[in-house]
Chain A
Amino acid sequence: MAAAAPTSRGHGLLGYGPTALALALFIWFLGFLPVVSAGQAASWAVPWIPVLGIDLAFRIDGLSLTFALLISGIGTLVLLYANSYLTGDPQFDRFVLFLTSFMLAMLGLVLADDLIVLFVFWELTTITSYLLIGYGHDSEKSRRNALQALFLTGAGALAFLAGAILLGEAAGTYRISEVLAQGKAIQDHPHFTAILILVFLGALTKSAQVPFHFWLPNAMAAPTPVSAFLHSATMVKAGVYLLARLHPAMSGGDLWLYTLTILGVVTAVFASLLALRQTDLKQALAYTTLMALGTLVMLLGQDSGYAMTAFATFLIVHSLYKAALFLVVGNLDAATGTRETDALGGLGRVLPMTALAAALAGMSMAGLPPFLGFIGKELTYAGMLQVASFPVILSIMALLANGLILAVASVVAIRPFWSARQPKTPVKNAIPWTMAAGPVVLAVLGTIFGIMPGLLQNTLVAPTVLSLTGDIAETKQLKLWAGVNLPLFLSLATFVLGGLFYAWHATLRARLAMLDRLPNLDEAWDRFMASIKTFAIALTSRIQTGRMTDYMAVTFSTIAIGLIATVLLRGLPPLSPSFADVTPIHLALIGLLLSGTFMATITRKRIAAIAALGVVGIGVALVFIFFSAPDVAITQLLVEVLVVVLVAIVMLQLPRLRDYPNRFRPGHAVIAAGVGGSVTLVLLAILSTPLDRRLTTFFETASWPEAFGRNIVNVILVDFRALDTFGEVAVVVVAAIASIALLRQNRKGRS
């Protein structure tokens, strides 16, 4: 990715500016810690769409603040890192714009206190994520993976929008804090199951749970800072955030419990198996992210204080160590040019700062004491043992997943640096301090919080649990030594299991290759997309024949069928055609119209056909004049003139009518008769019903006093209905300019 050797200067102000913005936001959010740790919340609201009851409402409580600090804090470090990582990249301006926009959208998402506002930011993160995955847009694979993520999370977002609207209507308010204030009352609503399923679809696609998991490893096509930020620390947790946000109102039922627990556990175990299977370090980390998301989702399925405390802790732990490790892998890539686990070795002394960060973050990920990861894991075990229905199975699954993750952590964080058996990898580029700072700061934070968990206990964990349960007393203590209990034994078992997995990881990896033969949703996705394309091509070639005759046949048959169907279904009022007022002039007019029409259908010369149509047009204009609609008549006449001019120009290019076989076309005759007959019937029906003169009377009386005009038609056009006229004129201009462009295109094609 990096075109040139990374330097600490990078792109100068273009890189430092956004970093400073992120840092300022981080500091600003830190200022809310006293309010939030006191159990309060800060909120703002500006009316946005008052008709629909939608406000631009934001609220900072424990859960929001935890996320906001993670987003802005990790954002600062990642932006600093990316500036050096992409040194010399000519499109860095674009990149930093996308990344900064993403950060702001993500902050909006976690602070939003309105369901619709939350949805808007949710979509913004989807779009910026799409742009960032597809950043290397000259690679077909990047584009495909970006589209896959966009379609999948976008489809989920639509489901979420439907769910949000249903929820808002069911609760009578779109303000999230007001929905939550109603407690679990929403669960008695008849639409609750539908709401829950729709919200699940949105959250589980965004957070890449099985069976929607396949987009996340593919999203690693993005540059490494993006993977660290979006696809491990923040965006993929948006789904988790949504579930956590709605947890107080929606949890507790069987559907909630079983869906989240089962999907979470399956995702966690499946992902940790696949993580060990990978040889690319970044891919391995991608799968461990899936495992973490699975664990978080599973914890949210529960209600117990242990599970909620574990959720809050694990959320923070995971963001710290996973972002650090992604940046470490980025450093390895930048320094050596490879991310393959078997090619990397002996780097501990060459890249000391990166090695230090890797070791600290890796041990936190492995769940070793005294790191925060250990506390997170203990709490997770405690949370699982609290589950009423099947604690044993859950604990065994979690044990398996954690053991595997320990092995993966060793492969990623220890082996490339310290393993004696690995070949020494030559280092091409030095790592500037800006790229070492990110992983070191994150890893050291994980260590400090592990040794002094009290720093997190009341500042972030307890307020988050308050957001989740509504009761701060549910918070459990974060401590390294919780006494001799079952979670401790499970931890010890994890270490043993993880050690064994690491010792035999090469063998295991070969065995796990059989997982590749499982039904692969990624390939199914490609087939699905290909089938859509095939269908679209088949449909287009059927509909868009490129023959004017076909288009006109379709248009007029549709009109005829619509009118005939209406007449058949709704019936006709009694028709009372009156011939009393018919004068010889009217009869002559009818004769003119009929003869023009007849001439147009039988003539063998185009110019004669055009002239005959002109006769029809002028006949219609005469009708308007007889029945006193001079404006319409003038317009009709002018349009007739223009049509003759335009057609005469085009006609020079058309083949002569004489070259077509002169035969009767029954299909066209049926369509013509259908349109003519049905329009006549409908017109007679309209004339047979009494005319509603209310509008006419209004315009007649209002035209002069209100709009100072006596020509009612024109007054309607330019005053009463000026907006409509403006729209029509805009359409005329746009159509003309489009046609001109098409005509010019034609010339380009010829020359």
Chain B
Amino acid sequence: MNSIILIAGTRYLSALLILFSIYALLRGHNEPGGGFIGGLIGSTGFILYAIACGTDQARRALRARPETVAMIGLAIALGAGLSAALFGDVFFTGQWLFLGATETEKGLPVSTVLAFDVGVYMAVFGSILGLVFAMEEEI
């Protein structure tokens, strides 16, 4: 598709979509959002880019192969689940650390649950994107 308007609009929209997808991923634990939704939003960002500028450009912008992103995401999710074993807990028990927590302040929560959600994000993102790119190129 050679639409100047679409190409010009895509630059901003794609960036916004990807930024928003990360926002959706991180807020997911307390507000609507999460890894699955984030991954879907993120992939639409690149899909829009691919429709406007072609899959070659989109692949270059992504740098990594989407299948690789998906597999790494799966590995992170599995690793997050397995890490519970290090603390002597059952498979997929969430492990939490509150950075800088004081008597009154909760601190910054860091958890294997977040790592798991990041893994889900990457797996969904990579799978959808790989499929769409392949369809664009092959059909």
Tell me the complex Cα distance, A649–B132, Å: 9
Tell me the complex Cα distance, A96–B28, Å: 56
Contact check, B131 vs A719: say whether CB atoms are below 8 A apart. Answer: no
Write out, one digit per residue, whether chain A residues 720-751 have a CB within 8 A of any chain B CB (1) or not (0): 00110110011011011101100110110000
Interface residue total, chain B, C-beta cutoff 8 A: 50
Task: State the Cβ distance, B82 to closest chain A Cβ, in Å.
Answer: 10
Contact check, A714 vs B127: say whether CB atoms are below 8 A apart. Answer: no
Q: Which of A631, A642, A740 makes the CB contact (< 8 A) with B67?
A: A740
Tell me the complex Cα distance, A527–B113, Å: 58
Q: Is the interface of B mostly helix, strand, loop or mixed?
A: helix
Q: Which of A630, A652, A722, A746 makes the CB contact (< 8 A) with B81?
A: A722
**Chain A: CB-nearest residue to B44:** A641
Tell me the complex Cα distance, A733–B130, Å: 10
Q: Is B8 in contact with chain A by the CB < 8 A criterion?
A: no
Q: Is B116 in contact with chain A by the CB < 8 A criterion?
A: yes
Contact check, A653 vs B139: say whether CB atoms are below 8 A apart. Answer: yes
Contact check, A649 vs B113: say whether CB atoms are below 8 A apart. Answer: no
Contact check, B134 vs A708: say whether CB atoms are below 8 A apart. Answer: no
Q: Is A645 in contact with chain B by the CB < 8 A criterion?
A: yes
Contact check, B30 vs A740: say whether CB atoms are below 8 A apart. Answer: no
Task: State the Cβ distance, A706 to closest chain B Cβ, in Å.
Answer: 9
Q: Is B52 in contact with chain A by the CB < 8 A criterion?
A: no
Task: State the Cβ distance, A735 to closest chain B Cβ, in Å.
Answer: 7
**Chain A: CB-nearest residue to B48:** A645
Q: Is A515 in contact with chain B by the CB < 8 A criterion?
A: no
Contact check, B124 vs A711: say whether CB atoms are below 8 A apart. Answer: no
Task: State the Cβ distance, B73 to closest chain A Cβ, in Å.
Answer: 8
Tell me the complex Cα distance, A478–B71, Å: 68
Contact check, A733 vs B74: say whether CB atoms are below 8 A apart. Answer: yes
Contact check, A729 vs B29: say whether CB atoms are below 8 A apart. Answer: no
Q: Is A646 in contact with chain B by the CB < 8 A criterion?
A: yes
Q: Which residues of A contact B116 (CB under 8 A)?
A: 718, 722, 725-726
Q: Which residues of A contact B137 (CB under 8 A)?
A: 743
Contact check, A638 vs B40: say whether CB atoms are below 8 A apart. Answer: yes
Q: Give chain A interface residues in 259-283, CB to chain B under 8 Å.
A: none
Tell me the complex Cα distance, A630–B120, Å: 19
Q: Give chain B interface residues in 24-82, CB to chain A under 8 Å.
A: 24, 28-37, 40-41, 43-44, 47, 51, 67, 70-71, 73-74, 77-78, 81
Q: Is A244 in contact with chain B by the CB < 8 A criterion?
A: no
Q: Which of B35, B111, B127 makes the CB contact (< 8 A) with A733?
A: B127
Tell me the complex Cα distance, A747–B96, Å: 48
Q: Which residues of A contact B34 (CB under 8 A)?
A: 631, 711, 713-714, 717-718
Q: Which residues of B contact A191 (CB under 8 A)?
A: none
Contact check, B135 vs A650: say whether CB atoms are below 8 A apart. Answer: yes
Task: State the Cβ distance, A199 to closest chain B Cβ, in Å.
Answer: 39
Q: Which residues of A contact B131 (CB under 8 A)?
A: 646, 736, 739-740
Q: Is A465 in contact with chain B by the CB < 8 A criterion?
A: no
Q: Is A543 in contact with chain B by the CB < 8 A criterion?
A: no
Q: Which residues of A contact B123 (CB under 8 A)?
A: 729-730, 732-733
Asked whether A638 and B44 contact (CB < 8 A) given A646-B132, A723-B91, A726-B78, the answer is yes
Contact check, B37 vs A733: say whether CB atoms are below 8 A apart. Answer: no
Q: Is A707 in contact with chain B by the CB < 8 A criterion?
A: yes
Q: Which residues of A contact B117 (CB under 8 A)?
A: 714, 718
Tell me the complex Cα distance, A652–B111, Å: 46
Write out, one digit per residue, whether chain A residues 692-726 have a CB within 8 A of any chain B CB (1) or not (0): 00000000000000011111011101110011011
Tell me the complex Cα distance, A650–B43, Å: 18
Q: Which residues of A contact B113 (CB under 8 A)?
A: 707, 709, 718-719, 722
Q: Give chain A interface residues in 463-496, CB to chain B under 8 Å.
A: none
Q: Is A634 in contact with chain B by the CB < 8 A criterion?
A: yes
Q: Which residues of B contact A641 (CB under 8 A)?
A: 44
Task: State the Cβ distance, A321 to closest chain B Cβ, in Å.
Answer: 56
Tell me the complex Cα distance, A739–B67, Å: 11
Contact check, A743 vs B91: say whether CB atoms are below 8 A apart. Answer: no
Q: Which residues of B contact A646 (CB under 8 A)?
A: 131-132, 135
Asked whether A711 and B136 contact (CB < 8 A) given A718-B117, A723-B81, A729-B124, the answer is no
Tell me the complex Cα distance, A630–B34, Å: 12
Contact check, A634 vs B37: say whether CB atoms are below 8 A apart. Answer: yes
Interface residue total, chain A, C-beta cutoff 8 A: 42
Q: Which residues of A contact B43 (CB under 8 A)?
A: 642
Q: Which residues of A contact B40 (CB under 8 A)?
A: 635, 638-639, 642
Contact check, A743 vs B74: say whether CB atoms are below 8 A apart. Answer: no
Tell me the complex Cα distance, A641–B37, Å: 13
Q: Is B105 in contact with chain A by the CB < 8 A criterion?
A: no
Contact check, B47 vs A744: say whether CB atoms are below 8 A apart. Answer: no
Asked whether A743 and B37 contact (CB < 8 A) given A718-B117, A723-B91, A733-B123, the answer is no
Asked whether A735 and B29 contact (CB < 8 A) given A708-B96, A722-B92, A730-B74, the answer is no
Q: Which residues of B contact A739 (CB under 8 A)?
A: 131, 134
Contact check, A642 vs B44: say whether CB atoms are below 8 A apart. Answer: yes
Contact check, A744 vs B132: say whether CB atoms are below 8 A apart. Answer: no
**Chain A: CB-nearest residue to B128:** A642
Contact check, A717 vs B33: say whether CB atoms are below 8 A apart. Answer: no
- The residue in A635, A717, A726 that gathers the most chain B C-beta atoms within 10 A of its C-beta is A726
Write out, one digit per residue, whether chain A residues 616-645 have a CB within 8 A of any chain B CB (1) or not (0): 000000000000001100110011011001
Contact check, B77 vs A726: say whether CB atoms are below 8 A apart. Answer: yes
Task: State the Cβ distance, A726 to closest chain B Cβ, in Å.
Answer: 5
**Chain A: CB-nearest residue to B28:** A714
Tell me the complex Cα distance, A736–B128, Å: 7
Q: Which of B29, B71, B109, B120 makes the CB contact (< 8 A) with A725?
A: B120
Q: Which of A631, A652, A735 makes the CB contact (< 8 A) with B139?
A: A652
**Chain A: CB-nearest residue to B133:** A740
Contact check, B29 vs A715: say whether CB atoms are below 8 A apart. Answer: yes
Tell me the complex Cα distance, A652–B1, Å: 14
Q: Which residues of A contact B124 (CB under 8 A)?
A: 729, 732
Q: Which residues of A contact B77 (CB under 8 A)?
A: 725-726, 729
Q: Is B103 in contact with chain A by the CB < 8 A criterion?
A: no
Contact check, B36 vs A645: say whether CB atoms are below 8 A apart. Answer: no
Task: State the Cβ distance, B59 to closest chain A Cβ, in Å.
Answer: 13
**Chain B: CB-nearest residue to A732:** B127
Tell me the complex Cα distance, A384–B83, Å: 66
Q: Give chain B interface residues in 85-139, CB to chain A under 8 Å.
A: 91-92, 94, 96, 109, 111, 113, 116-117, 119-120, 123-124, 126-128, 130-132, 134-139
**Chain A: CB-nearest residue to B78:** A726
Q: Which of A635, A715, A725, A726 makes the CB contact (< 8 A) with B37?
A: A635
Tell me the complex Cα distance, A723–B136, Å: 33
Tell me the complex Cα distance, A699–B40, Å: 26
Q: Which residues of A contact B120 (CB under 8 A)?
A: 717-718, 725, 729
Q: Which residues of B contact A710 (CB under 8 A)?
A: 29-31
**Chain B: CB-nearest residue to A729:** B123
Q: Give me 4 other A-B pairs in contact (C-beta within 8 A), A652-B139, A708-B111, A736-B128 excluded.
A: A638-B44, A708-B109, A709-B29, A730-B123
A-B contact pairs, 30 of them (CB 8 A): A631-B32, A631-B34, A642-B43, A642-B44, A642-B132, A649-B135, A649-B136, A707-B94, A708-B29, A708-B111, A709-B30, A711-B29, A711-B31, A711-B33, A714-B34, A718-B29, A722-B113, A722-B116, A723-B92, A726-B81, A726-B92, A730-B74, A730-B123, A732-B127, A733-B74, A736-B127, A736-B131, A740-B131, A743-B139, A744-B134
A-B residue pairs, 6 tightest by C-beta: A736-B127, A638-B40, A630-B32, A709-B29, A714-B34, A722-B92
Interface residues of B (CB under 8 A from A): 24, 28-37, 40-41, 43-44, 47, 51, 67, 70-71, 73-74, 77-78, 81, 91-92, 94, 96, 109, 111, 113, 116-117, 119-120, 123-124, 126-128, 130-132, 134-139
